[in-house]
Structure 1
Amino acid sequence: MPETWLLSLSESALASALRQSAIGYPLLSSAHILGLSLLVGSIVTLDLRLLNIVKRGRLSELAPLLSRVAAGGLLLAAVSGLLLFSVQPAHYLGNNAFLLKLVLLSLALINVAIVHSLPAWRLLLAGQPPGLLLKFTAAVSIILWLAIITAGRWIAFV
């Protein structure tokens, strides 16, 4: 059953067009990197501010803005990533670095969901300083997102 799904995905008109286009796949790859840059750049900036390594800006103002930028980056990275995946799904699913990236991405998104569900997050948005739990999740977040970037780069070499 999975092979049928993968075959139909890789034989879709869009995947075929991407494989045959001299500029489509490179542009899509660039869009994916742009999405990742927006996502990881805004998250790491927010995490560094939560950890008080970056001291400028009020968290109650930065957190909503950087969260929206991260969400936009995530959307762009997810859509472009799915389209890139469609070009060679069997190849990617056989790539351990890609699989590791997916696991790490799942953990990072769970971390985001946990943070946004915490009462401490709502207090932060109301102007309270971050507590130990938010600082811990910020440290975990930085580690996970940097590991995702690393695993993503390894895809080409594994």
Structure 2
Amino acid sequence: MIKAERSKTEVTTKMASIKKVSSGLLFLLIAGKGLALNLNSQQEDKSLKLADAALECGIYYEFTAGGLAKNPNVSRGVVQTITQNSKTLLHTADLLYHAAGISIEDRRKKVMQGAKERLQKRKENPGSYNELIYEYGEKCKLLMDAYSYRIESLSGESNAI
């Protein structure tokens, strides 16, 4: 229990640092370009992959926070941090999609439809729900570990976001 709480604290600390830097950086870079981006296909692909990952993990954290909020053994601070992390990721996705002229609402619908399909496939084996949750948790952990680097790699290229 203590190890899990420590791990949560490490993740929330990383996210707090990342959100301070990344949201402001993205906003300034996009605003500085006047949203008139001239991305080559490789840059656009990197931006959209990051936006897709941020959207999926933002939604994952949104649902995670909602579930944890119902658990009296989870502190409000942990729930608030996860909620803020979700908002940060969703905001990042929105900025990147907006810069590419894509609607986040449309992308969110697509992600949710894909989630429903994955849940339907796993319906026969309820234990596989836990596996799915774990898989997304690991995917989002990897995103968070590489988040600053990925933002910097986008902003470090000429004509990049």
Query: Is TM (by shorter chain) over 0.5?
Result: no
Larger Rg, first or second structure (1 or 2):
1
Highest relative contact order (Cα 8 Å, sep 6+), 1 or 2?
A: 2
Q: TM-score, normalised by structure 2?
A: 0.38
Q: TM-score, normalised by structure 1?
A: 0.39
